[in-house]
Amino acid sequence: MDLELKLRATARLVMPRRRWLTLTASAAACAAASPLRAQTEPILIGQSAPTSGPVAVAFAAPLAGQQLAVDEINRQGGIGGRPLQLLIRDDAYDTERTVQNVRELVEKDRVLALTGLGSTAGVGALLPYLAEQRMPLVGAWTGAHVLRARHHPTFFTTQGSFKDEAEHALRTLATIQLDQIAVVYQDNPFGQSMLPVIEASAAQLGLNLVVKLPLAVDGSNAGDTAAALAQARPKAVYLVAVGASVVSFIRATKPRLNVPVYTLSVAANSVPALGENARGLVITQIVPYPWRTVDPMAREFNRLATAAGVPVHYGSYGGYLGARFLIEALQRAGPRITSDNLIRAIQGIRDWSLGGNLLSFGPDRHHGSSWAEITIVGNGGRFMR
């Protein structure tokens, strides 16, 4: 009888312990499930870019280049085991659409960061919102200096500004004594914001701006602009434009004005459309030379671009390098990647080579480079340094 009582008491102790072990295992599995999902969910990066509209051609190459880098990191297993995904919304280079797109990406899609915004006016309109949301903007495809004039807590760039480019080009013109300059600027916030920069730099260098002419965004007044330039008889032209207006302007100007035309890096994407009309065009570059394959990043880019059928070009290489920087920053922000961790990671980058261009950041330094160089378009659209 004593033995039977002992067996019943043991059963009462053993059964609850078994149920406790089962519940503990279930709880552990549930606790592990959420981090596991978090480790495999994509890292969402938002982008508003003009994939349609008058400047879409200028953005096609950078978009293709950045996708090469994203696809490659995902083939390698992603970042901390998580795939990187770009959510791209078309803004057609319209400020209101850019703002609307970004708000939806931040508030609806819950992106971790933004990259590659292309509109000067759009970025300017969004900077207060990005600061309020603590939303990182890692790289923008506008070099407008007005966007960098004041420190912003979440805006970072990896390339020199349009101001850096213009000053470098004008110094070159002063050095070779082409001192009678005509300025043609795109008639929108991008071009208008550059005019005071050019005026100030020209005055400092002793250059005379003989005429300043607006150019329609779609290039519709290119013929009239070329005729006015021919009457002004400058020794060189400085062109501030992007997209279709570059093609229209150069085609209209070539037969009427036999002087060098200097322009910004954003015009490089128009070289294929210009064909032989591009020969002699002088373009400042803020992206390292894509064909310098002694550099590991350039070599990898050429390999990926060739395999994917993407043309090797400044535009596509610039997009690729921008994505490579974003990937580097995300890797440094791990293992728990948040927007704040990403900001801190970028601020900690010092003397890091992006295609041979050394970048340095800090808590009060969010624009990592001011480097620029001169290139000339030769036969067959080939860029010469």
113 and 60 in a single domain? The answer is: yes
Which of 142-146, 150-154, 211-215, 359-363 is predicted with the least confidence, judged by mean pLDDT? Answer: 142-146
- Residues 298 and 30: their CA atoms lie apart, in Å, by 45
pTM of the predicted model as reported, rounded to 2 decimal places: 0.82
Phi, psi of 181 (to 5 degrees): -115, 135
* Strand arrangement of the beta sheet that strand 208-215 belongs to: 208-215, 180-186, 236-240, 261-263, 282-285, 373-377, 383-384
Two tokens, residue 207: 């250059």
Percent helix, strand, coil in the chain, to 5, is 50, 20, 30
Tell me whether residue 152 is in a domain.
Answer: yes
User: The domain containing residue 174 runs over which residues?
Assistant: 163-285
- Residues 118 and 139: their CA atoms lie apart, in Å, by 10
220 and 362 in a single domain? The answer is: no
Domain boundary among 259, 285, 311: 285
What is the structure's pLDDT at 368?
97
Q: For residue 17, what pLDDT band results from cuts at 50, 70 and 90? A: very low
74 and 128 in a single domain? The answer is: yes
Between 35 and 373, the more confident residue is 373
What is the structure's pLDDT at 30?
43
What is the structure's pLDDT at 6?
41
Cβ atoms of 212 and 185 within 8 Å: the answer is yes
142 and 117 in a single domain? The answer is: yes
What is the structure's pLDDT at 36?
47
279 and 170 in a single domain? The answer is: yes
Q: Mean pLDDT in the chain?
A: 90
120 and 83 in a single domain? The answer is: yes
What is the structure's pLDDT at 38?
54
Q: Is the dihedral of CA 73, 77, 80, 82 positive or negative?
A: positive
Tell me whether residue 135 is in a domain.
Answer: yes
156 and 301 in a single domain? The answer is: yes
Model confidence over 141-185: pLDDT tens digits? 988 888 999 999 999 999 999 999 999 999 999 999 999 999 999
Q: Which long-range contacts (CB under 8 A, 24 or more apart) does 70-73 make?
A: 70/323, 70/327, 71/304, 71/308, 72/300, 72/304, 73/327
User: Whose CA is closest to 100, among 136, 129, 137?
Assistant: 129
193 and 303 in a single domain? The answer is: no
DSSP letters spanning 322-385: HHHHHHHHHHHH-SS--HHHHHHHHHT--SEEETTEEE--BTTB-B-----EEEEE-GGG-EE-
Model confidence over 243-282: pLDDT tens digits? 889 999 999 999 999 999 999 998 988 999 999 999 999 9
What is the structure's pLDDT at 55?
82
The distance in angstroms from the start CA to the end CA of the chain is 102
Model confidence over 279-326: pLDDT tens digits? 999 999 999 999 999 999 999 999 999 999 999 989 999 999 999 999
Domain boundary among 270, 285, 300: 285
Tell me whether residue 270 is in a domain.
Answer: yes
327 and 298 in a single domain? The answer is: yes
- The percent of residues above 70 in pLDDT, for the chain, comes to 90
What is the structure's pLDDT at 229?
97
56 and 142 in a single domain? The answer is: yes
Tell me whether residue 107 is in a domain.
Answer: yes
Tell me whether residue 20 is in a domain.
Answer: no
| H/E stretch holding 99 | helix 95-107
Domain count along the chain: 2
Tell me whether residue 2 is in a domain.
Answer: no
156 and 168 in a single domain? The answer is: no
Tell me whether residue 5 is in a domain.
Answer: no
Does residue 78 have a pLDDT over 70?
yes
231 and 334 in a single domain? The answer is: no
Does residue 373 have a pLDDT over 80?
yes
pLDDT average, residue stretch 213-236: 96
Domain boundary among 285, 315, 341: 285
Tell me whether residue 29 is in a domain.
Answer: no
Q: In CATH, what number is assigned to the domain containing residue 146?
A: 3.40.50.2300
Q: For residue 23, what pLDDT band results from cuts at 50, 70 and 90? A: very low
